[in-house]
Structure 1
Amino acid sequence: MSIGKWRQLERRSVHRDRWIDLSANRFEYDGRIIEPYYLFHYPDWVVTIAVTREREVVLVRQYRPGSDEVTIEFPTGVIDVEDDGPLAAGMRELREESGFGGGEGVLLEPMTVHPSHFRNRYHVVVVEGVERLGEQALDETEWLEVERVSVAELERMIDRGEFSMGPQVGAYFRARLRFPALFGGG
């Protein structure tokens, strides 16, 4: 038997607001019913890996309620309907969260967050040659500190578990494979 897609028989929204749509679903596969199977329908988001002209990586430090810890990560955010696609969203998030901008951005292929239960994807933008353009433009519920580290220090932080958000580590690894000259000096 080859693996195929499950057939969705029913979808019922359990909770829906501007950030999330949690659904209870009924699927059928190979003559068996799978229910309830919960899916999270989040908006797509973007991770921006920005490198300054001095070859430093721009990071932000912020509190994350889900893990109940202050994390360090790349500028990240939801792709807004007003954005002209993931590349524009990544450049906007970089500017808003860090005050950095400019440079040349490249959009990598989208990745899944957690494909067993999450329907959204995250997009990776790599920007080389950014510089400080001004102050942060944070949302009223954002409190972020900006840091710059070398590629070598970022990789030590990943190894020590200090930079530990899985999708972001995956984004960095993909960027490193695509742009070895930019990140290979780690």
Structure 2
Amino acid sequence: MTGSRYVHKDRWIAVRADDCVTEDGVSVAPYYVLEYPDWVEIVALDADDNLLLVRQYRHGIADFSIELPAGGMDPSDADPCTAAARELLEETGCAGDMVWVGDARPNASTHANRAHIVLARNVVRVAAPKNDPTERIEPFWVPAAEALRMALAGELDVGMHVGSLLRGLAHAGVVTMTAGGSAA
């Protein structure tokens, strides 16, 4: 890298323009990198292995999306499980036992942040969801097998949520992989 500058920076995102030179001496300038806070994606299961999903309007696609409960980590969050507990309570009014499963890169080509996968077990509703006028969220429950079917059918179509769902369900022992690589 021969140079770097911010072309936009606010509380939600920073857009960095890097001037890069490949190993073959080819100049790539500018190369844009998006800097977001880390995110958490919650695979929330009740005692009967029903999965909590949310339906919410997403302006980027100008339509509704079915997703896992998720959100950005705040600077005050001690760790991904703390952030996940906060987001789960805000979006759905639910709480559970949090376990960090791992993390993933949303898009290693252009994003500098990580998406942390948190498994919430024994999830129950403890309060009303927070009424945030910028987020219209409708939580609903489906059996874990139905969530897997929805992911494979493209009904859950946010790629990083599909990956988090698979990793979370596998970590919970709800989904296992066969020797041929298929889910069982």
For the residue of structure 2 that corresponds to 1:108, the secondary structure is strand
Per the normalisation by structure 2, the TM-score is 0.90
Alignment of 1:125-144 (within 5 A): 125-144=118-137
What percent identity do the matched residue pairs reach? Answer: 36
**Normalized against structure 1, the TM-score is what?**
0.89
Deviation, 1:183, is: 3.8
**Corresponding position of 1:4:** none
Q: Is the 8 A contact 2:13 2:35 kept in 1?
A: yes
- Pairwise mapping of residues 91-130 of structure 1 onto structure 2 (< 5 A)? 91-102=85-96, 104-130=97-123
CA distance in 1, matches of 2:133, 2:57: 14
Moved more, 92-101 or 136-145: 136-145
Q: Counterpart amino acid of 2:7?
A: V
Inter-partner Cα distance in structure 2 for 1:141 and 1:58: 21
Q: Is residue 54 of structure 1 aligned with residue 45 of structure 2?
A: no
Q: Alignment partner of 2:102: what SS?
A: coil
- Matches of 1:49 and 1:15, distance apart in 2: 33
Give structure 2 stretches of 5+ with no counterpart.
177-182
2:26 maps to 32
Matches within 5 A, 1:1-186: 8-30=1-23, 31-102=25-96, 104-180=97-173, 182-184=174-176
- The residue type paired with residue 159 of structure 2 is G
- The letter of the residue matching 2:138 is E
How many aligned positions are there?
177
CA-based RMSD of the aligned residues comes to 1.6
How many angstroms does 1:178 deviate by? 2.3
* 1:179 Cα deviation from its structure 2 partner: 2.6
Once the two structures are superposed, what CA deviation does each residue of 1:21-53 show, in whole Å capped at 9, x if it has no partner? 111110122233221111111111100110011
